[in-house]
């Protein structure tokens, strides 16, 4: 498995989550961009921690899409989306799932992502 160079703040968030017994990975477009030797516009993190657990671990958070498991963690004025592993229901509007079920499985979370590259962690 190839490791990628992850920014310090992203490593810090992942480290806090892991130190508290949760899994956490950089995921999606940022991983794609690194492999394509591009600078990612942003870094997204997927985790086994629930949104409430994420909020409890970090001083400043924003409920970006908490109903879908997404909390933005703010570090030194920069935001990082942290999303709980989930399984999505049907997409009635082609953009948002009708329902979301949180899971503890990275594999289940990755299965819901389009395979172009967003299923990589």
* CATH at residue 25: 3.30.460.10
Has residue 46 been placed in a domain? yes
Q: How many domains does the chain have?
A: 1
- Residue ranges making up the domain that contains 94: 8-111
Has residue 80 been placed in a domain? yes
Cα angle 114-117-119, degrees, rounded to a multiple of 5:
60
Has residue 1 been placed in a domain? no
List residues bridging with 101 in a β-sheet. 87
- pLDDT tens-digit map of 67-104: 889 999 999 999 999 999 998 767 677 666 667 889 89
Please provide residue 64's backbone torsions phi and psi, each rounded to the nearest 5 degrees: -65, -50
What global pTM score does this model have? 0.84
Report pLDDT for 15. Answer: 98
List the structure tokens of 12.
């810090």
């Amino acid at each position: 498995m190839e490791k990628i160079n992850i920014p310090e703040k992203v490593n810090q968030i992942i480290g806090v989550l892991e130190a508290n017994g949760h899994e956490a990975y950089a995921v999606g477009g940022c991983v794609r961009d690194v492999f394509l030797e591009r600078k990612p516009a942003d870094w997204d993190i997927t985790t086994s921690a629930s949104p409430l657990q994420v909020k409890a671990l970090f001083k400043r958070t924003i409920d970006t899409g908490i109903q879908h498991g997404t909390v933005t963690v703010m570090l030194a004025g920069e935001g990082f989306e942290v999303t709980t592993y989930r399984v999505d229901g049907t997409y009635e509007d082609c953009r948002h799932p009708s329902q979301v079920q949180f899971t503890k499985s990275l594999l289940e979370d990755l299965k819901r992502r389009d395979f172009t590259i967003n299923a990589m962690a």
